[in-house]
Amino acid sequence: MTVPKELINSIGQLFVIGFKGATPPEPLLDFFREERIGGLILFEENCPTHAQVRENIEQVKSYLPDTPPFIAVDQEGGRVCRLRGAPAEFRPASSFASDDDVSLFKEIYSRSAVYLESLGINLNFAPVADLMLNEQNDWLKERSFGDNPSKVADFVRASVEVARESGLMSCLKHFPGLGASNIDPHNETSTADYDNIIWEQREKIPFEAGVRAGADMIMTTHMTIPSIDDKMVTVSEKIISDLARNELQFDGPIITDDLCMGGAEIIGSYG
């Protein structure tokens, strides 16, 4: 079968790519242009100063004049803030949840979101819609708005609304819910033991709130949920189709978590 040229030329649009160091190297910029890469993700090492962030973004965009890229960042608050210093940096999700003050969260996050957009960032991989259900889940500590689905839903909804008002795209993560897991997917594929019924009464609630508020993307996580599907979520047509598309009625882009994470290593074993 011959693959249409227009399809080949569009493959790069499916990827969001990062780089090491303070500035993007020339070979990477050439790769962005040649393959028409869909987006850039900035990590903390790429953001030594806010001025450097702006410069890096402008440089990447100059190599993609005909296909404006996603310029993405994980600016969740607390320890997951790629840009440090005011007004970009703000408190962790758990801190706002402890205050139980959604209005305060919206006010503080708005300052950050508006500033991120002014630098040229157009996509924030936030909010975290996971519930904090496992005390051993160190990688989610401070990143979650708590263990109460309705309360978390309020903050998720607020985050999506603020992003939209500020000109940022938002992304709900880590679908379909990482809070009950027992392994850090950065290191290896995680697992959780909930089924469809539990999901509908628990994990679904914050994600549904985010979708109804107008979230632009959903990010899947590298975990297995054997009671729902034996395949890892990242490659599970059943979970993505049944839960995200049918249950949540989400028709926007669904993106994977970082494919360089240890939890993604088993992807190659699927046919």
Active site residue 257: yes
**3-state DSSP of the chain:** CCCCHHHHCCHHHHCEECCCCCCCCHHHHHHHHHHCCCEEEECHHHCCCHHHHHHHHHHHHHCCCCCCCEEEECEEECCEECCCCCCCCCCCHHHHHHHCCHHHHHHHHHHHHHHHHHHCCCEECCCECCCCCCCCCHHHCCCCCCCCHHHHHHHHHHHHHHHHHHCCEEEEEEECCCCCCCCCCCCCCEECCCCHHHHHHCCHHHHHHHHHHCCCEEEECCEEECCCECCCHHHCHHHHHHHHHHHCCCCCCEEECCCCCHHHHHHHHCC
Give catalytic residues, as residue numbers. Answer: 257
